[in-house]
Amino acid sequence: MAKVDTSLVAHLPLFAGVKPEELDEILREARSARYPKNTAIFEQGADAQSFFLLLHGHVRAAKTTPTGEQIVVRYVAPGETFGLAMAIGSAHYPATAMAVDDSVVLIWPTSAWPRLIERFPALAANTMQTVGKRLQESHTRILEMSTQQVEQRVAHALLRLANQSGKKLDRGIEIDFPISRQDIAQMTGTTLHTVSRILSGWESQGLVESGRQRIILREPHRIVVLAERNPDSGAA
Amino acid sequence: MAKVDTSLVAHLPLFAGVKPEELDEILREARSARYPKNTAIFEQGADAQSFFLLLHGHVRAAKTTPTGEQIVVRYVAPGETFGLAMAIGSAHYPATAMAVDDSVVLIWPTSAWPRLIERFPALAANTMQTVGKRLQESHTRILEMSTQQVEQRVAHALLRLANQSGKKLDRGIEIDFPISRQDIAQMTGTTLHTVSRILSGWESQGLVESGRQRIILREPHRIVVLAERNPDSGAA
DNA sequence: CGGACAGTTTGCGATAGCGCAAACCAGGCT
DNA sequence: AGCCTGGTTTGCGCTATCGCAAACTGTCCG
């Protein structure tokens, strides 16, 4: 089994309130694995045999409709868990997880979960927090989709990504993994065409700098303004 | 304190795996209260001092934007919990809860939660399930808002309500609490005007029968078809 | 070094749904 | 019984956004 240094993960929210020696015991139940860029980690609908903790890289969780359309549920950043189907009482993964960058994960068998939470109740509590937070974020997203127009939603989405996985550059904040217009469209409930138009517009105003699967926010402040502006407060 | 008959609540998902005598102990920590139609149970942003179990009636949970627009997060049916802010680690209610009908609830002080789950781990597990299920429903809703048009979304919303709180009539299924076009609009991310038009249309096709805050699905089957139909499968 | 491809940009017409405004209506209250 | 109020219906013009199609471009690969 791969040996994982406890000190690397001890500070993660998942392990809050867990003693070092306990942590060791928890980690012994896990194995680690590497997923190259653009490989699937699990597929929507598959048996939930494992749950995961992302150590390095980035993972996209996406849900597909019967008719084939996709939405991005979220991007998983290092230190976050994913594939928690079993914790919420589902035997199957409700979404597909895909490494968008070379990624390293810890993997526990689903079967270990009951034992783990019995022995380490903090794990259950922490997971509850996490799931609750995600629920709130979902509601916020629904609120946005209901009340804001596309440009504002895209602004919000980018700011969130920058916040979660932004790399500070001197010319701005770069989103630290490959992300296409299509991806952003699937996060905001629009089309890649519309996203492209919006980003083009922003680029010509110097708000962002962007290229192939790459986005740098040059003026986060002014983007915040866009995100919050009332639909009818006209700009020159 | 109001005495609540354990047999009335023993079968609820929240108490799955809890022994009768334990249940008694849990209920002793609760008080019950009655909220008349159209009274607020708690307000978004308020301190989360209690959590609730709905016994009778119906409660609407709604979230308001800074600019005053609202969305309906969900309708709470009897037997369901709400106001679980504390379980997910939030000190404030993320939404407003309002009785849409005369309602009776059990109320536990937030402060009792840690003790309860320590003594009755099943409670924590059950709550986890519930929250997880709601998360999934949120994702489904996001998916729908991203990929379907308004008419389909309204169809889905009504079918869900009928399913959750439908009263079987010989002429169809009636949604068992007062609900306005505005409410439906806030569930589906559209305007009351559009909902009104859609329902008018359906009414003239004999799909529904509706009036003031009242909706009866006369042809659930045909509404299912609407909900699932592909955007471009033209009807005559 | 030259494809070939995946991602991106852009134009143009079509339209679903919005926003506003006005009229209508059912039921509760006095 | 009649009035008031909150909910509902409907018409009409407008526009944000989609959908399709075509051209463009940075990258990777052989």
How does B169-192 read in b/e, with b if 16+ C-beta sit within 10 Å?
Answer: eeebbbbbbebbbbbbbbbbbbee
Nucleotide nearest A204, CA–C1', reads C9
Can you give the pLDDT at residue A231?
A: 61
Answer whether A138 sits within 8 Å of B139, measured CB to CB.
yes
* Tokens found for residue A156: 């919000």
CA distance B118 to A78: 31
Answer whether B146 sits within 8 Å of A71, measured CB to CB.
yes
CA–C1' distance B113–C11 (Å)?
Answer: 60
Answer whether residue B1 shows pLDDT above 60: no
Residue-wise pLDDT tens digits, B111-164: 999 999 999 999 999 999 999 999 999 999 999 999 999 999 999 999 999 999
Answer whether A133 sits within 8 Å of B88, measured CB to CB.
yes
Can you give the pLDDT at residue B33?
A: 96
Three-state SS at B103: strand
A83 near A48, Cβ under 8 Å? yes
Average pLDDT, chain A: 94
Answer whether residue A160 shows pLDDT above 90: yes
Three-state SS at A68: coil
Closest CA to B97 of B112, B75, B113, B116: B75
Domains and CATH numbers, chain A: 6-137 (2.60.120.10), 148-228 (1.10.10.10)
Answer whether residue A209 shows pLDDT above 50: yes
Q: Degrees (nearest 5) of the Cα angle A85, A113, B124?
A: 80
CA distance A157 to A140: 11
Neighbours of B150 (CB within 10 A): 17
Question: Which of B142, B184, B187, B192 is the best mutation test for A, with the most CBs of A within 10 A?
Answer: B142
Answer whether B146 sits within 8 Å of A230, measured CB to CB.
no
Q: What is the mean pLDDT of residues A149-174?
A: 96
- pLDDT level of residue B234 (50, 70, 90 thresholds): very low
Phi, psi of A50 (to 5 degrees): -145, 160
Residue-wise pLDDT tens digits, A76-93: 999 999 999 988 889 999
How far does CA B28 lie from the centroid of its chain? 26
* A63 touching chain B per CB within 8 A: yes
Residues of A in contact with B134 (CB under 8 A): 135
CA–C1' distance B200–C25 (Å)?
Answer: 15
What is each CA distance from A189 to A14, A70, B148, B164, B167, in whole angstroms?
30, 10, 10, 27, 34
- Dihedral of the CA atoms A133, A134, A140, A145 (nearest 10)? 180
Can you give the pLDDT at residue A6?
A: 83
- Dihedral of the CA atoms B149, B152, B154, B155 (nearest 10)? 180
Can you give the pLDDT at residue A235?
A: 43
What is each CA distance from A10 to A113, A125, A211, B63, in whole angstroms?
19, 16, 37, 36
Q: Which residue is nearest to nucleotide C10 (CA to C1')?
A: A197
Q: What is the mean pLDDT of residues A42-54?
A: 97
DSSP assigned state of B14: G
Can you give the pLDDT at residue B87?
A: 86
CA distance B236 to B234: 6
* Element spanning A103, H or E: strand A103-109
CA distance B31 to A189: 43
Q: How many residues does chain A have?
A: 236
What is each CA distance from B137 to A142, B119, B140, B160, B219, in whole angstroms?
11, 30, 5, 11, 24
Share in percent of chain B as helix, strand, coil (round to 5): 45, 25, 30
Whether ipTM > 0.90 holds is yes
CA–C1' distance B207–D26 (Å)?
Answer: 54
Answer whether residue B229 shows pLDDT above 60: yes
Phi, psi of B190 (to 5 degrees): -145, -160
Torsion sign, CA atoms A151, A155, A156, A158: positive
* Tokens found for residue A104: 């390293």
Angle A192-204/A181-188 helices, nearest 10 degrees?
Answer: 110
Phi, psi of A163 (to 5 degrees): -70, -40
- pLDDT level of residue B236 (50, 70, 90 thresholds): very low
Residues of B in contact with A87 (CB under 8 A): 128, 132
As a whole number of Å, the end-to-end CA separation of chain B is 62
Residue-wise pLDDT tens digits, B57-103: 999 999 999 999 999 999 999 999 999 998 888 999 999 999 999 99
Residue-wise pLDDT tens digits, A214-227: 999 999 999 999 99
